[in-house]
Amino acid sequence: MANLYDGKMAAIFDAMYQTFIDYDEEYEFYNTLIRENTCTTILEIGSGTGNLAKRFQENKHNYMGLDYSLSMIAIAKERNQNCLFIHGDMRNFQLENSVDAILITGRSTSYLINNDDINNTFASLYKNLNDEGIILFDFIDANRFIPFAKENETIIHQAAYEGINYIRESHWNTTSLENFMLEWSAQYYTIVNGEKEIISDDFSTVRVFTLNEIELFLYLNNFEIIKTIDRKTYAYDTYVIMARKKLT
């Protein structure tokens, strides 16, 4: 798994994504799907700094979050003092009580870079769901993102939060595409007096997926797809999958 969001990167991530993502809209999107399936207990994997948790808590959901980054969890706990956050790995975790719905948000599936990672994750989701529980997750569509990354050597995103202007310059290495894995490097800057000042840089190996791949992984792990949603996000063409646990 990546160390992308540890240490000071957690605070930078939190600040920039306040601009990148409309969390009220994000909450409504997921809550609509949860209501369709009358789910009452929810686990969010990749809960990060607790922006969605805040909305779930305000709307009286039975919610808990799980994240791989202790730094992100520390921010989430400060933001949501009445929410439960668990430090854990989506590839291997065990809840005290199973839940009705498990969300994997923020394209966290990108860090499942080999087939064992994916199968282990779906196995963990399966064992922590109630009978006929649902999973909701998004992933970057390889068929659209790889051509875009090859044609755009540098991808720039700008954000502003609490009077600070940020720039992220991302670079994607598409030369080695085993399992559609990409090498991602990024530099983070603030703008001071009209000039860029670097505050951090990072590197990670990530994976993008085709829809057919995901459909097959779900089938092999005893999930039935209920809904597939083609959803544009701030940076990536993604699919959101809703699938139900099948009893074996």
Query: Which pLDDT belongs to residue 95?
Result: 97
Residue 2, in any domain of the structure: no
Beta-strand ranges (E) seen in 120-180 are 129-140, 154-161, 164-173
> Are 44 and 77 contained in the same domain?
yes
- Mean pLDDT over 206-227 rounds to 97
The domain of 137 spans: 8-142+209-245
Helix, strand and coil percent figures for the chain, each rounded to 5: 35, 40, 25
What CATH number did the domain enclosing 110 receive? 3.40.50.150
Query: Which pLDDT belongs to residue 153?
Result: 80
> Are 90 and 162 contained in the same domain?
no
Residue 237, in any domain of the structure: yes
Query: Which pLDDT belongs to residue 1?
Result: 43
Q: Give me the phi and psi of 22, to 5 degrees please.
A: -85, 100
> Are 181 and 225 contained in the same domain?
no
Query: Which pLDDT belongs to residue 235?
Result: 73
pLDDT digits (tens, 9 = 90+) for 159-172: 888 888 999 999 98
What share of the chain in percent tops pLDDT 90? 70
> Are 76 and 138 contained in the same domain?
yes
pLDDT digits (tens, 9 = 90+) for 29-71: 999 999 999 999 999 999 999 999 999 999 999 999 999 999 9
pLDDT at 6 over 90: no
- Calculate the average pLDDT of the chain: 91
Residue 87, in any domain of the structure: yes
Query: Which pLDDT belongs to residue 232?
Result: 85
Residue 69, in any domain of the structure: yes
> Are 22 and 104 contained in the same domain?
yes
pLDDT at 175 over 80: no
> Are 78 and 115 contained in the same domain?
yes
Following CA atoms 26, 120, 9, 240 in sequence, which dihedral angle do they give, to the nearest 10 degrees? -20
pTM for the model: 0.92
pLDDT digits (tens, 9 = 90+) for 70-95: 999 999 999 999 999 999 999 999 99
Residue 176, in any domain of the structure: yes
> Are 171 and 221 contained in the same domain?
no
Residue 1, in any domain of the structure: no
Question: How confident is residue 96, by pLDDT bands cut at 50, 70 and 90?
Answer: very high
The number of domains in the chain is 2
Residue 3, in any domain of the structure: no
Residue 101, in any domain of the structure: yes
> Are 23 and 121 contained in the same domain?
yes
- Mean pLDDT over 10-25 rounds to 85
> Are 230 and 201 contained in the same domain?
no
- Mean pLDDT over 181-186 rounds to 90
Residue type, 101: A
pLDDT at 3 over 60: no
> Are 19 and 115 contained in the same domain?
yes
pLDDT at 238 over 90: yes
CB neighbours of residue 117 within 10 Å: 18
